[in-house]
Amino acid sequence: MRIARVTALPGPGALASVTNPVSRVAPVTGNRRGGPVPTVIGPDGIDFGKGYQQPMKVPLSPATEGCLAQPGPRGAGAGLASLCLGLCMACLLSGQATAQEPARVATVLGVSITRGELDAVADDRSRARKLLAMIWDRIAPHYIASRGLQATPVEIAEVAAYDEEFDSRDRSQRARKLAELDQRLAGDDLSAAERARLQDFRATLGRLARYDAERAREPLPDPAQQAVFYAPWVELWKMNKALYEEYGGVVALTRFGHDPQGARAALLKDYERRGLLRITDPLLRDQVIAVLDARPSMVVAPEDVDFTPYWKRPIPASYFPD
C-alpha cells in the first residue's frame, strides 16, 4: 500500500455547522420570599476544527491506488487522482467529526441530551429514571405553553391569599395550644412520662413561635417573587388536570396528591410518534418505557380521581390532637 502525504487540510470553516442552539426555560421553585429565576439551558457546541491543521499520512485503499494507476489521456490521471484523494479525505473527515460529536442518548424538541449530561446527574436513581426526568423537564413546559396553561396573575394571587390565611390560622391554633400546654404543665397531676411529652411539645411550639416572629420582621415578597414561587404549582395543577382529561389512564396517589401517571406516559409516547421525542439508545428506551408502564404502588379508583388543588379546598378547622 502506498502512502500519500497530505500537507493541507480544510479547517473548521470548510465544514458546515451541525449545531442548532435552541434555548429552553424550565420553571423551578424556591422559597416563598424570593425563589430563583428560571434556568436557561442550551445544547453543547461541537468544534470540528481540532486536530485538522497538522500534516498527516493517509493510507490509500486498493481502489484508490487503482484510480491513481489508471492510464488515460495526458492530464487525466492527475485529475482522477485528485478526485479519488478528495473522496478519501471526505470519508476521513466525516469519521473524525462523528468521533468528536458527543454521544446522544435522546433528542427532545430538537435539543440533544448527551451521555455525558446523563452521567453528570449525581443521584441514586437508575439511568432510565434520570433520563425520564430530563425529558420531562423539557416536555412539560412545551405542553403547558402549547395548551395555554400558564399561571395567570389572578391564579397566583388566589394561592398567595390562601397561604396567608392558612398561616394566620396556623399561628392562632399554635398560640392557643401553647397556652393550653402551659396550663396543663402548671398542674401536679401529670406522670413523669406525660410531663416529658408535653414539655417536648411545648418546646417545639416555642421554636415555631420564634420563627414566626422572625418572619414577621422580613419584607413581604413583591408580585414578581410571588410569581416565581407560585406559578410552577399553579401550572403543575393545570397540566395534570389537562393531561388526565386528554389522555385518561391510571392515576397514582402520592404525597403531593393525585398524579396522572398513565396520562403522562401517553403524552410522552405521543411526542415520540410525532417526532418531538427520540431516544436513540435502544436499551435505554426500553428501560424508560418500562418505567412509564409500571403500575404505581397506590392507585386511585376512577370514581375518586380529583385534581382539585389544595388552595381550592376548605382550610381544616384544626389539626392539633387533644
**The three three-digit cell numbers of residue 64, written as one number:** 484508490
Q: How far separated are the first and last CA of the chain, in Å rounded? A: 93
* Per-residue pLDDT reduced to its tens digit, 186-242: 988 889 999 999 999 999 999 998 998 898 888 887 888 888 899 999 999 999 999
Domain-located, residue 235? no
Q: Return the percentage of the chain with pLDDT > 90, whole number.
A: 47
Q: Is residue 60 part of a domain?
A: yes
Residue 68 within a domain = yes
Specify whether 8 is located in the same domain as 97: yes
* SS3 labels along 218-284: CCCCCHHHHHHHHHHHHHHHHHHHHHHHHHCCCCEEECCEEECHHHHHHHHHHHHHCCCEEECCHHH
Mean pLDDT of the chain: 75
How far apart CA 109 and CA 103 sit, in angstroms, is 17
Q: Are 258 and 299 in contact (CB under 8 A)?
A: no
Would the CA dihedral through 153, 154, 159, 160 be positive or negative?
positive
pTM for the predicted model, two decimal places: 0.62
In a domain, 221, yes or no: no
Indicate whether 114 belongs to any domain: no
Measured distance CA(77)–CA(62) in Å, rounded: 16
Q: For residue 72, what are the domain limits?
A: 3-101
Inside any domain, residue 126: no
Considering the domain boundaries, does residue 58 fall inside one?
Answer: yes
State CA 162 to chain mean position distance: 28
Residues 6+ apart with CB under 8 A from 133: 121, 125
Q: Do 96 and 166 fall within a single domain?
A: no
Cell numbers placing 93: 473527515
Domain end: 216, 241, 268, which one? Answer: 216
- The pLDDT of residue 127: 87
47-61, 100-114, 211-225, 279-293: the lowest-pLDDT one: 47-61
Q: Are 89 and 160 within one domain?
A: no
Percent of the chain with pLDDT over 70: 67
Is the pLDDT assigned to residue 5 strictly greater than 50?
no
Whole-angstrom CA distances from 131 to 104, 136, 143 are 12, 9, 18
Q: With a cut of 80, say whether residue 314 has pLDDT above it.
A: yes
Output the nine-digit C-alpha cell for 243.
393531561
Q: Say how far apart CA 66 and CA 317 lie, in whole Å.
A: 91
How many structural domains is the chain composed of?
2
* pLDDT tens-place string over residues 28-58: 333 443 333 333 333 333 232 333 233 333 3
Q: Where are the alpha helices (DSSP H) in the chain?
A: 62-69, 76-100, 115-119, 127-146, 153-186, 192-216, 223-247, 261-273, 282-293
Specify whether 96 is located in the same domain as 160. no
Residue 243 in domain: no
Q: Show which of 79, 101, 123 is a domain's final residue.
A: 101
Residue 152: per-residue pLDDT? 94
Q: Which of 216, 238, 258 is the last residue of a domain?
A: 216
pLDDT band at 82 (very low <50, low <70, confident <90, very high): low
11 and 91 housed in the same domain: yes
